[in-house]
C-alpha cells in the first residue's frame, strides 16, 4: 500500500489494490456499504477507472462482490427475522419479492392500501412457515 508522500510506482496505481492488504481493504469498504463512487474516491481514482479495473482485474471485482455479499446476507436475515417476528410490512415485502406469483398487488389496488383479509392471510402463512422452521 502507498504510504503518505510516497509516489506511485511505474507499474501503475492498480498494483497496490491487487496486494492482499489492498484487496482486504476493498472488501471491507464494500462491506461497509460504500458505493462505487465512494470506493473510487477512497482509492483516489475516478469511478470510470474503478469500472475498468473491475473488468480488467477480477481480483478487485471479486473482493468488492465478497464484501457486498456479507452485508446483503445480514440485511436479508434481519428482514426475515422481522417478518417472522410479526412485522407486517416486512412480511409483505418478503412475500411480494419471494413469491410474486402468489402475493403480487392486483392492478386495481392502491399501492398504499393493505386489504385486511390479505394481511391476515399473510400473517397466518408466515406463522405456519415459522412453525416449520
Could you say which of 25, 46, 70 is where a domain stops?
70
Q: Are residues 112 and 64 in the same domain?
A: no
Q: What's the first-to-final CA gap in the chain, in angstroms?
A: 47
CA-atom Rg of the chain in angstroms: 22
Do 92 and 122 lie in a common domain?
A: yes
pTM of the entire predicted model: 0.57
80 within domain boundaries: no
Whether 19 and 65 map to the same domain: the answer is: yes
Q: Which of 32, 1, 35, 29 is nearest to 15 (CA)?
A: 1
Residue 6 in domain: no
The pLDDT, as a whole number, for residue 4 is 45
Look at residue 20 and tell me if it is in a domain.
yes
Count the Cβ atoms, other than its own, within 10 Å of residue 29. Answer: 19
Q: What is the reported pLDDT for 82?
A: 95
Would you call 96 exposed, middle or buried from its count of C-beta atoms within 10 A (0-12, 13-18, 19+)?
middle
67-103 pLDDT, tens digit each: 999 889 999 999 999 999 999 999 999 999 998 888 8
C-alpha cell at 116: 385486511
| Last-in-domain residue among 25, 40, 70 | 70
User: Which domain does 32 fall in, by range?
Assistant: 14-70
Domain count, the chain: 2
- Taking the CA atoms of 51, 56, 57 and 58 in sequence, report the sign of the dihedral they define: positive
CA dist., res. 90 & res. 81, Å (int): 9
**Is 4 part of any domain?**
no
Same domain membership, residue 89 and residue 62:
no
Select from 70, 94, 115 the last residue of a domain. Answer: 70
Residues 64 and 91 in one domain: no
112 confidence band (pLDDT: 50, 70, 90): low
Asked if the structure places residue 9 within a domain, the reply is no
Q: Mind listing the pLDDT tens digit for each residue in 23-77? A: 999 999 999 999 999 999 999 999 999 999 999 999 999 999 999 998 899 999 9
61 & 20 share domain: yes
* Same domain, residue pair 91 and 51: no
Amino acid at each position: 500500500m502507498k504510504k503518505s508522500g510516497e509516489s506511485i510506482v511505474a507499474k501503475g496505481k492498480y498494483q497496490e489494490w491487487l496486494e492482499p492488504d489492498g484487496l482486504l481493504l476493498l472488501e471491507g469498504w464494500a462491506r461497509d456499504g460504500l458505493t462505487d463512487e465512494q470506493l473510487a474516491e477512497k482509492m483516489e481514482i475516478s469511478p470510470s477507472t474503478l469500472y475498468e479495473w473491475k473488468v480488467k482485474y477480477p481480483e478487485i471485482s471479486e473482493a468488492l462482490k465478497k464484501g457486498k455479499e456479507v452485508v446483503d446476507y445480514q440485511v436479508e436475515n434481519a428482514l426475515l427475522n422481522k417478518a417472522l417476528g410479526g412485522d407486517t410490512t416486512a412480511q409483505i415485502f418478503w412475500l411480494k419479492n419471494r413469491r410474486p406469483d402468489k402475493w403480487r398487488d392486483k392492478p386495481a389496488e392502491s399501492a398504499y392500501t393493505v386489504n385486511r383479509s390479505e394481511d391476515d392471510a399473510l400473517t397466518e402463512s408466515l406463522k405456519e412457515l415459522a412453525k416449520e422452521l
